[in-house]
Amino acid sequence: MAKLLKGKKIGAYFNLVAAVFAIVALIGYAFAGQDSYGFVPMVVILLALGVISALIFTWHDFYGFGPVVTMAFFAAGFGVFLNSRFMYYSHQYYKIASDPISAAMIVTTIGMIGMLLFELISAFMSWEEKR
């Protein structure tokens, strides 16, 4: 890890925090997805690709595309998640959900928001000494 972070600037650290949030979201979703609103494998695939992308670009930010590519995966994962969970939030808002608000869904939601927020912040910062 020390080698990976050698010569890195604050943006890369924010990117890694985003990746950690994505992992939190993945773990949360593994539990939350067992409720009656269902589990969509594509969410996991896209978030996992986002995490891999975050790690690769942390190692080396090829052409400065790190945040763009990583954000594309995270945003797509979030989009699929939201599409499949639209009803969950709607039902909770109207208090008509068939499943109660679960800790897993709170964790997943926080993970998703944190992931997007930190990745966005990281995009406005330098990731490497050379750039």
- Find the part of the chain contacting other proteins (CB under 8 A) among 20-28, 47-55, 101-109, 120-128: 120-128
29 binds other proteins (CB under 8 A): no
Distance of CA 32 to the CA centre of its chain: 15
Minimum gap (Å) between residue 2 Cβ and other proteins:
26
Binding-site string for other proteins from residue 80 to residue 99, where x marks contact by CB under 8 A and - marks none: x-xxxxxx--xx--xxxxxx
Measured between alpha carbons, how far is 100 from 88 in angstroms, rounded to an integer?
Answer: 10
Q: How many residues does the chain have?
A: 131
119 binds other proteins (CB under 8 A): yes
- What is the amino acid identity at position 10? I
Residue whose pair of structure tokens reads 């969950």 in the numeric block: 88
Q: For the beta carbon of residue 126, count every other beta carbon within 10 angstroms.
A: 15
126 binds other proteins (CB under 8 A): yes
131 binds other proteins (CB under 8 A): yes
